[in-house]
Amino acid sequence: MITIKDISRKCGVSPSTVSRALADSPLLPKTTKTRIQRAAEEMGYVKNEMATSLKTGVRRTVGVVNFVGQNLGFAHYLFSEILNGFSTYINDIDYDILLISDKTLQMGENLIPYLKSKQLGGVLILSGYYDSQGLRQLIGSDIPVVVVDPREEILLSMADCVSSDNFSGMYELTSEIISKGHKNVVFVTGEDYYVTHERVKGFKKALADNAIPFSDQMIVRGNFYNLSAVADNVLKILSYDNNPTCIIFSDDYCAVNAYEVLRSKGLTVGQDISVAGFDGIEMGKHMSPRLTTVVQDAETMGATAAKTLVDRMNGAEKSDTKLIPTGLFLTESVKDLN
Closer CB to a second copy, 132 or 179, in the complex:
132
Subset of residues 44 to 83 that bind DNA, contact rule: CB under 7 A: 47-48, 51-52, 54-56
Closer CB to a second copy, 80 or 210, in the complex:
80
Q: Are strands 122-126 and 61-66 parallel, antiparallel or unpaired?
A: parallel
- 16 contributes a contact to DNA by CB under 7 A: yes
Subset of residues 29 to 48 that bind DNA, contact rule: CB under 7 A: 29, 32, 47-48
Closer CB to a second copy, 178 or 298, in the complex:
298
Binding letters toward a second copy, positions 236-275, x by CB under 8 A: -----------------x--xx-xxx-xx-----------
* Alpha helices per DSSP H over the chain: 4-11, 15-22, 30-43, 49-56, 77-92, 111-117, 133-140, 154-158, 166-179, 194-209, 230-238, 252-264, 282-285, 298-313
State which amino acid sits at residue 84: N
Backbone angle region of 321, left / alpha / beta, with phi > 0 → left and psi within -120 to 50 → alpha: beta
Beta carbon of residue 123, minimum distance to DNA (angstroms, whole number): 21
Q: Name the nearest CA neighbour of 335 among 220, 218, 243, 247.
A: 247
* Alpha helices per DSSP H over 210-244: 230-238
Beta carbon of residue 318, minimum distance to a second copy (angstroms, whole number): 24
Measured between alpha carbons, how far is residue 17 from residues 14, 54, 83, 146 in Å? 5, 20, 39, 38
Beta carbon of residue 62, minimum distance to DNA (angstroms, whole number): 19
Whether residue 53 contacts residue 59, with contact meaning beta carbons closer than 8 Å, is answered with: yes
Stretch that binds DNA, among 10-18, 202-210, 225-233, 306-314 (CB under 7 A): 10-18
Binding letters toward a second copy, positions 116-135, x by CB under 8 A: xxxx----------------
Closer CB to DNA, 29 or 315, in the complex:
29
Closer CB to DNA, 15 or 289, in the complex:
15
Subset of residues 211 to 230 that bind a second copy, contact rule: CB under 8 A: 227, 230
Closer CB to a second copy, 2 or 337, in the complex:
2
DSSP structure class, residue 320 = P
- 114 contributes a contact to a second copy by CB under 8 A: yes
- 4 contributes a contact to DNA by CB under 7 A: yes
- 14 contributes a contact to DNA by CB under 7 A: yes
Cα 156-295-130 angle, rounded to 5 deg? 35
* Secondary structure (DSSP) of 113-171: HHHHHTT-SEEEEE-TTS--HHHHHHHHSSS-EEEES-SSTHHHHHSEEEEE-HHHHHH
Q: Are strands 145-148 and 160-164 parallel, antiparallel or unpaired?
A: parallel
Cα–Cα distance for residue pair 183/185, rounded to 1 Å: 6
Task: Give the residues lining the site for a second copy (CB under 8 A).
Answer: 1-2, 44-51, 53-54, 59, 61, 64, 68-69, 72-77, 80-81, 83-84, 87-88, 91, 96-99, 101, 103-104, 109-110, 113-114, 116-119, 227, 230-231, 253, 256-257, 259-261, 263-264, 282-283, 285-288
Interacting residue ranges for DNA, rule: CB under 7 A: 1, 3-5, 12-17, 19-20, 22-23, 27-29, 32, 47-48, 51-52, 54-56
